[in-house]
Structure 1
Amino acid sequence: MITLPPASAGLGLRRALMDELLAAPAGAFDFLECAPDNWLGVGGRYGDALKTLASQYPITCHGLSLSLGGTAPLDDTFLARTRRFLDEYRVVLYSEHLSYCTDDGHLYDLMPIPFTEEAVHHVAARIRHAQDALGRRIAIENVSYYAAPYQAMDEVDFITAVLDEADCDLLLDVNNVFVNAINHGYDACAFLTRLPSARIASYHIAGHYDEADDLKVDTHGAPVKDDVWALLSQAYATHGVRPTLLERDFNFPPLAELCVELQRIRALQALHLPGASARATHG
């Protein structure tokens, strides 16, 4: 299977960006990420464009509707269709959210899971089921949340326990760590330090909205903030460089502006690659 080099920077494959992605110069980005939920069965112009891009760039996938924390049985038909999609496009990484999004129908939002031992066992069993159905190891993403239904465990302990019991990977969303740290009053760097490096498959980074000094909203609709860039640098220093995706879901600027942010990712990766200090000293 194709793998991504650790020092790689990707961009979300969004239909609003399709023409610019198809016309992008070589090297503008290293990989593209799409939500398979939005592409299953899509044909026509967009289906052809997806095939063209997948023939030129590695594809990763970030699921939206599996509802790993939900109580309804996992949708095995959907999992089977997703597996065919992942195989067809030789997807190098599939991830989903550590949350739930259904309750007698889709909620169209990512809802927080109680941080309890019971929830650890419940979610880990569903992740193992998903991995078996998909025939591959998956990564789960730490999500932003604005209300905590019940916390018998710290967030970082809950995430680590799920990773261990499910034996899956982590997609570390750095912006979500920053947003949650502000909103819930914990130290973002300390949180990062306690995560298991060996489980981290990749990173996400995105912009957010400053509602107030003590309230940040994860939007994916703005440039990445300086404090979040600093936290990404800290993540690289603590856990090592991994493939990193720039998330932008609306308020799209020209692709050239997104590429400036991609170059910032690459610069930070170069700074933290093994031997970077020696190269800088002797360069």
Structure 2
Amino acid sequence: MRHLASMSAGLGLRRSFLADLCQTEDENAPDFIEVAPENWLGMGGRYAKQLRACSERFPLVCHGLSLSIGGYRPLDEPFVLRLKAFFQQHQVRCYSEHLSYTGDDGHLYDLLPIPFTEAAARHVAERVMRVQDILGQRIALENVSYYAAPCQDMTELEFLLDVVRQADCQILLDVNNVYVNSINHHYDPKLFIRAIPPEKVAYLHIAGHYVEAEDLRIDTHGADVDSEVWQLLATTYQHIGLRPTLLERDFHIPPLADLYQELAQIRQQQRDAAS
């Protein structure tokens, strides 16, 4: 993560509050913002002007949705070049993608699980290295929530760390995803966090989820952050140290003032970890 303070709180930018955020004078506003670049590539008109105004005011990071880094279709290199131009235009500080795939002949707009095998790890790492070569920078991979495991010769943690090691890339550590997966797949989330190499972590995500059943959580980004996720975030700071931390909210989006309250909780946890 370039030029972002480790003690900083970010917010995923959504069009529903884009105009308000561009004009805000609130001292509780985010320290940085994040967008999915696919939603903005080639955008013109009012939204493009507002995004430019925001990216000039707030440091911008990008979190991709459709690179399909785990897929078997040829890597879309023209798309990566478009991303590179977008990053240069908006001085993007970091680019991350999901450790998943999103389709075959077309995009399914869903994050599909990759088999946890050595062959799949090599395949993903080779694709990551190619993307990094084109962009001229390292990228970060996010640990994703998943609900089915098509093949597990390795654990989720082993697979993530093997890909990162081979590709020499970074990690976007999603604390909520660790918690959700720990419930759904029966592992200790604190042990997962403590096994992550601190030097590999670029920044963090937190978000809310839906309780479908006692043993099933759904990663919705549609609710306030759960108290147990806040506790796991504190554990994360204890292990890896302070990192820029971003709040995601995609559905049931409340007023900005309510989102700022959750940003304040991030900042308080960071202050507590630093003391």
Q: Which residue of 2 aligns with 1:168?
A: 169
Q: Which residue of 1 aligns with 2:92?
A: 91
Q: Which residue of 2 aligns with 1:266?
A: 267
Structure 1 counterpart SS, 2:192:
helix
Q: Which residue of 2 aligns with 1:11?
A: 11
Kindly report which structure 2 residues correspond to 1:96-115, keeping only aligned pairs within 5 A, or say none: 96-115=97-116
Give the Cα separation in 2 of the matches to 1:26 and 1:196: 36
Kindly report which structure 2 residues correspond to 1:186-205, keeping only aligned pairs within 5 A, or say none: 186-205=187-206
Q: Which residue of 1 aligns with 2:54?
A: 53
Structure 2 counterpart SS, 1:252:
coil
Q: Which residue of 2 aligns with 1:280?
A: none
Give the Cα separation in 2 of the matches to 1:152 and 1:46: 45
Structure 1 counterpart SS, 2:88:
helix
With structure 2 as the length reference, what TM-score do the two structures score?
Answer: 0.98
Question: Which letter maps to 1:260?
Answer: Q
Report the CA distance between 1:24 and its aligned residue.
1.9
Structure 1 counterpart SS, 2:257:
helix
Give the Cα separation in 2 of the matches to 1:24 and 1:125: 43
Report the CA distance between 1:19 and its aligned residue.
2.1
With structure 1 as the length reference, what TM-score do the two structures score?
Answer: 0.95
Q: Which residue of 1 aligns with 2:67?
A: 66
Q: How many residues align?
A: 274
Structure 2 unaligned runs (5+)? none
Structure 2 counterpart SS, 1:82:
helix
Q: Which residue of 1 aligns with 2:130?
A: 129
Question: Which letter maps to 2:37?
Answer: P
Report the CA distance between 1:17 and its aligned residue.
1.3
Deviation sequence 1:1-48 (CA, Å, 0-9, x none)? 951000000001111111221232253110010011110010100000
Structure 1 unaligned runs (5+)? 277-283
Kindly report which structure 2 residues correspond to 1:102-251, keeping only aligned pairs within 5 A, or say none: 102-251=103-252
Structure 2 counterpart SS, 1:21:
helix
> What is the percentage of aligned positions where both structures have the same residue?
55
Give the Cα separation in 2 of the matches to 1:2 and 1:159: 23
Structure 2 counterpart SS, 1:69:
coil
Give the Cα separation in 2 of the matches to 1:25 and 1:186: 43
Q: Which residue of 2 aligns with 1:279?
A: none
Q: Is the 8 A contact 2:2 2:94 kept in 1?
A: no
Q: Is the 8 A contact 2:138 2:169 kept in 1?
A: yes
Deviation sequence 1:229-252 (CA, Å, 0-9, x none)? 000010000111100000001211
Q: Is the 8 A contact 1:2 1:90 kept in 2?
A: no
